[in-house]
Amino acid sequence: MSHTILLVEDNENNRNLLKDILGFYGYEVAIAFDGQAGVTLARELLPDLILMDIQMPGMDGMTACKILKGDPVTSSLKIVALTSFAMQGDPEKFLAAGFDAYISKPLDTRELPVLLKQWLSNGEPS
């Protein structure tokens, strides 16, 4: 059974790269271009995992995560922050905001499939 991953990313290059990687490893990929579309798709699809960019026009990833985690229907969805922020204390900030895990950009394309498998198999992003 294939897992469904919702990718919420406004940057076309990042979307294409992640879509290709996820597809290569057999994941079903749904794409949203901003936080509002991500919230809508998450509610419709109830994906196995959401990869959520932080900085997006309109609704950002922090706001979208807060909405999803505050909704009983979507509160248990696993949401991973994708961010170019790599400052000290950021992992704690994203976890405190409700994200289950955090990945900094640029992504390590060799590490990502390992992390995805871990998060999807045991349900606990780290």
Domain boundaries, the chain: 4-122
Chain centre to alpha carbon of residue 88: 21
More confident residue, 65 or 93: 65
Model-wide pTM > 0.85: yes
Mean pLDDT of 72-94: 84
φ/ψ of 54, rounded to 5, equals -90, -50
In which band, very low, low, confident or very high, does the pLDDT at 28 lie, cut at 50, 70 and 90? very high
**CATH number of the domain at 4-122, out of 3.40.50.300, 3.90.1150.10, 3.40.366.10, 3.40.50.2300?**
3.40.50.2300
